[in-house]
Every structure is written in structure tokens, then in C-alpha cells.
Amino acid sequence: MAARAPSLSKLVAGCVWLLAGCSLVVSGDPVVVCQSDDGCPSGQRCVVATGTCLAAADTCTSDSCSTNETCDPVTLRCVADDVVPPTPDASDAADTGASDGTAPEAEAGPPAVQIGSACRAQGDCSLITDEKQRVPGVCAFEALSGFDVPSFCTKNCCKNDDCPQDFFCDHGPNAGRYCVPFGERTRARPTGSKRGGENCAASTECASGSCDYALPQDPDQKTCIDTCCRDADCATGLVCGLRDGDTLQWVCRLPFGPGAANSDCSSVLGPAACRTGACYGGSDAFCTASCCSNASCIQLGLSRCVSGSTEAGTSVVNICAEPSDAGNADATCSSDGDCKSGICVATRCASTCCTDGDCPTQQKCVADGNEPRPHCAAN
């Protein structure tokens, strides 16, 4: 399907509604948890499975485990070698399934299943094997992945480099980003290796398998499209900007305008005044940005991370917004508008997230048939 070039007025209206609409809100008090060792104090390491920091002396290393044991990078505990299955060849995993389009039964086996394996429920993918490492997994059905393929086990990602070989990172229609296998029913396997933001003429040139326009004011200039959660996911000189194509997406691209997050965009330029191409509000509007949690917005001088859609409701993104009196995480709610995060799940407000590392200890970043937008929930 050919990408459509949005008009500036539509982009302005969409972004304003996105943050000011009655169904939008944000999570509770920010909780900063680790996603890597860089997020921990000196002498501590990040336990990715829980998003918590632990004294280095209490964790394993590649040299500290016994013979026939491996240091599990997710739990930082020594486990038997046979617990971690070999790396799968999942290049066309999403193309397999029953003739009626349903996912086949997931094969019984060790606790960790292969990335790309078929699944029917989130519990089928609690732990998956990702290039010989065990990582928390997701059962990606169509509402999550955005592809009309049988459900498959995968993991959250921010950019293409977060995914194993034969997979690409794609921004789903409900704010999540997931590793999706190349295949006839997803994207053709690329022959090139160009990164997000590089000029291209065909999708096969790009490591992500996608070549399209990124800047609304220049729809004829095509670049390799790679998803992102923040500017740091992109190459030097690029930003994580809002792309208004068939669906809203955060992608690596050249800045749209000069304004940084939290700067004024109330002029007639609207989003064109912002580096990210996203402008919040009306007469006192300000530039905003992609987010995963309240903490990521606070770092930009804003206050909360909201999950919301355009008025047409065709896709959802997470975006930094202004303060709100709506409910914090775990407050009671009857609709999305009762919550600061814009996510009400089973009468309780939930926080936004991109990965488990964005959630408090003992919570995971989940999405399922009841609520396809990524949100923090108890294990």
C-alpha cells in the first residue's frame, strides 16, 4: 500500500487532539528502574528480568558458573546449559500456521521457547530464546504486530538493532514496538543494510526492509524507516520524530523544525516548529516527544507519558503531555479519561511502557486481547 502524504493541517489537528482529547491521560508518580547496567549505581548490575539493580557480587558472570552451566543474562543466575535452546531459524515464522489462518499449537519443550514460535496466549511466550539468550516474551497477535499473520512469540524492541537476525522492529498500531520475522506476509527480506534515516530507492536496501517518506513536507524524499523510542535510538543528527502515514509512528529522521521538547509551537507553524513534528495544545501549545514512561518525559522537561490516538482512531502512540489531575497508576477508573496514562484496565489505571524496564519492580510491560496498548501489570 502506498504511503499517503499528510497535510500540515491534518497533522496539526491530529497532534492537538492526541493530547487534549477527553480520552487521554497519564501514569502515576514516575518509577525509575534499570534496563541495563548503565542504569545502576557503581558496583551493581541490572537484573533485566525484574528491572532492579543487584550487587555485582550476588550475580553470575560467564566465568563464575560451574561446568555445564551458563550465566542467564535475564536473571543473572547460573542455569543448566540445556535450559537455553539453540538459536532458531525463524525467518519465516510468521508465515506458518493452519490453512484457516489460526496459529498452530505451540510446541511443548523447555521453559524458554524460540522467538518466532507459534502461540495462542501470552503465557506461551513468558520466556523466549533470542540469539541463545532467554528474554521476556510477547505473544504478538494482529492487533499488536499490525500484520495479518498467525500469532507468534516475540519481544519488545525500540529499533531494528534490538532484534535478532531475520527479524525487524516495527511500530504496531497500538503504540507497541515488536520484533517481526521477515517473510512473504510481513516484509520481504532485504539485501542491503542501510540504517534508519539513510536515503533509499527501494525497501530491499534497508536493514529494516522499509523505504518510505519520513518528513511530511517532503513526501518524495524517501529514507530507510526504523522505529525508535527516543533520540538516542537514532544516528547522530537524527531525531525520533512523529511520522503520519497510514498509521502514526515514531521513526528516526531529520528534524522537522527547530523547537526542542517543551518549546513553544503555538504559532501558525504548529508541528513544523518542532524537531519531532509533534505539537501539543492550543493557544499555549508546546513541542512534545515520544516516551515510554513518566520518567522519560521528566527528562525532557515535561511531566507525563500518555497513550492516545488520533481522532480517526487508526493508531495509537505514546507521547509526553502536560500535568493532569486524573488518576495515577492503580487508581480506580471507569474509562481511559480517568487515568493520567490514558489506559484504564479492569477498573485500574495502568502506566505506559515500552519494555519491562519501564515498569516498577514485580511488574512487566504487557499487551493482550483485553488491552493491546503496552502497559505495566503485575507478574
pLDDT tens, residue by residue, 204-260: 999 999 999 887 667 788 999 999 999 999 999 999 999 877 778 899 999 988 999
4 or 58, which is more confident: 58
85 or 123, which is more confident: 123
- Nearest by Cα to 290 from 338, 239, 215: 239
Asked if pLDDT for residue 13 goes beyond 70, the answer is: no
109 or 173, which is more confident: 173
How many Å apart are CA 341 and CA 337, to the nearest integer?
Answer: 9
What confidence category does residue 52 fall into, taking pLDDT thresholds of 50, 70 and 90? low
Residues 6+ apart with CB under 8 A from 246: 1, 3, 4, 314
According to DSSP, the residues that pair with 212 across neighbouring strands are 223
What confidence category does residue 327 fall into, taking pLDDT thresholds of 50, 70 and 90? very high
Percent of the chain past pLDDT 90, that is, above it, reads 39
Asked if pLDDT for residue 26 goes beyond 80, the answer is: no
Asked if pLDDT for residue 323 goes beyond 80, the answer is: yes
Burial 306-339, CB ≥16 within 10 A → b, else e? bbbbbeeeebbbbbbbbebebbbbbbebeebbbb
| CB 272, CB 263: distance < 8 Å | no
pLDDT tens for 117-151 read: 999 888 889 889 887 788 888 999 988 998 999 99
334 or 109, which is more confident: 334
Q: Model pTM greater than 0.75?
A: no
- The mean pLDDT value for 282-293 works out to 88
- The mean pLDDT value for 7-12 works out to 27
Asked if pLDDT for residue 197 goes beyond 70, the answer is: yes
Query: How much is the pLDDT for 98?
Result: 41
- The mean pLDDT value for 156-163 works out to 94
Asked if pLDDT for residue 107 goes beyond 50, the answer is: no
Mean pLDDT of the chain, nearest integer: 77
pLDDT tens for 337-369 read: 899 999 999 899 999 999 888 998 888 899 887
- The mean pLDDT value for 295-322 works out to 81
124 or 101, which is more confident: 124
Question: For the purposes of burial, counting CB atoms within 10 Å of the CB of 65, is it exposed (0-12), middle (13-18) or buried (19 or more)?
Answer: middle
How far CA 371 is from CA of 24, 95, 103, 279, 335, in Å, comes to: 15, 25, 20, 27, 13
H or E segment to which residue 295 belongs: helix 294-298
What confidence category does residue 61 fall into, taking pLDDT thresholds of 50, 70 and 90? confident
Query: How much is the pLDDT for 308?
Result: 75
